[in-house]
Structure formats: C-alpha cells, structure tokens
Structure 1
Amino acid sequence: MDVNLIVAALVTGSFAVSGGVKVLGTTRASAAFKRWGYPPFYRITIGVIELLGALMLHHESTRQPAGALLLVLLVGGLATHIKFKEWHVIAVPLVLGGLLVRLLLSA
C-alpha cells in the first residue's frame, strides 16, 4: 500500500472529525472555545474550514492550497494551546502538522 495514501487518509480523517466536532458544537468543543475567550462563530468557522480542507486534501489538484490553509489553522491552534498552557494536547497539532507537511512535500 502507498504510504502517501495512508498519510492522506490519516490527515484527511483527522481534519474531518475535528471539523465535524466543531461545527456540531459538541459540549467539549464549545467549552474549549468559551474557555479561550473565542466567540461561537470562531468555532463554527474553523470547523467549516477544517471540513472543506479535508475535502480539498483528498484531491490532488487542490491539495497544496488546502494544506497551506490547514497549516495556518494548526499554527493558530498550537499558539492557543501554548498560550493557555495546555501542554497535554500540544503533540496533536505538531504531529498532524508534520504529517501534513510530509504529504505536501511528497506531491
């Protein structure tokens, strides 16, 4: 099996789940954005971008712009976790970002 296909599936799936959770407004996602002081429309907007990015990553012709956009979101998420000293979740955006960069560089 192609490694790029596996990486693409992992990254796409991660962003699809993350975006879905935000758009649906689960208790955990809503509480996190409230704790960070972000308005509800930030959660929804970021969720929609993650969902669209996941769809765009799945297609080679839109993979590069989607990857760039999602990397910006990951940097923002990482900055938020650092600002609020949420060290236990720092690995998630770092690993996901690394996989995303690997996917983009292999294209």
Structure 2
Amino acid sequence: MAILAIVLQSLLALMFLMAGVGKLSGSKMHVENFKKWGYPQWFRVVTGIVEFVGAAALIVGYWDKNWTAVGSLILGITSIGGIIVHIRNKDSFKETIPILVLAIISFIVFFIR
C-alpha cells in the first residue's frame, strides 16, 4: 500500500505542477479556456498558484505526511471546482475526465497517506 501511495502522490504532484506552471506562464490553452469559461485572467493566475502550492505541499509531504494531507485536500477541492466549471460550461465528458481522475486521486492520497 505504501508504494501505491507514493506513486499516486508523485503522479498528482507532477500533474498539478505542470498544470500550475501552465496557468502561471499564460499558456495559450489556459488563457483561451479561462476566456471561454468567462473567468478573468487573474483567476487563472490564482488557480495556478493554488495548484503549484498544492503540488509543492505534496512534495514536502514525502518528509512530513501532514503536508501530504494539506496538499491533497487543497488539490481535491480545487479539482471539484474544475469539475463544476466543466459541467456548467457543458464541456464534453472527454474534456472533464482528466480533472475528474485527478480529483479521485487527490482524495485517495488524502485517505491512504
């Protein structure tokens, strides 16, 4: 079980580091998506910061499990927000699957670490 937890924690940290950096750097996809969804660009930046901080907490969590709980909870709640955005904007299920999977992994990590 410990190996599975570390693998899921690592996957989650990597995915949200990439997503957070993409939002913070203003990647074309993220800029266009936030525009399409009707959110201001400052909200994209805040979302990127939250994702980056959550991922960093997961990394610190390798040494202190309390940080794993904090990071996975932050990312799980953020993921639920992302799912709601996709549903409200009638995005396809295909577009919603990645954030749905990350939400599930976030809560699995929260409960098994």
TM-based fold match above 0.5: yes
- Is the aligned partner of 1:73 residue 2:78? yes
CA displacement, residues 46-79 of structure 1 (integer Å, 9 cap, x when unaligned): 0011001001012122111222221121111101
- Structure 1 unpaired stretches of 5+: none
- Is the aligned partner of 1:103 residue 2:104? no
Partner of 2:3: 2
TM-score (normalised: structure 1): 0.93
Whole-Å Cα distance in 1 between the matches of residues 106 and 29 of structure 2?
Answer: 25
Whole-Å Cα distance in 2 between the matches of residues 104 and 68 of structure 1?
Answer: 6
3-state SS of 1:101 partner:
helix
> Contact (CA 8 Å) 2:72, 2:106: kept in 1 or not?
yes
Partner of 1:32: 33
> Contact (CA 8 Å) 2:73, 2:107: kept in 1 or not?
no
Q: Which runs of 4+ in 1 moved over 2 A?
A: none
Whole-Å Cα distance in 2 between the matches of residues 79 and 40 of structure 1?
Answer: 18
TM-score (normalised: structure 2): 0.88
Identity %: 24
Aligned length in residues: 107
RMSD of Structure 2 on Structure 1 (CA):
1.3
- Structure 2 unpaired stretches of 5+: none
> Contact (CA 8 Å) 2:8, 2:105: kept in 1 or not?
yes
Question: How big is the shift at 1:91?
Answer: 1.0
The AA in structure 2 aligned to 1:64 is: A
Partner of 1:61: 66
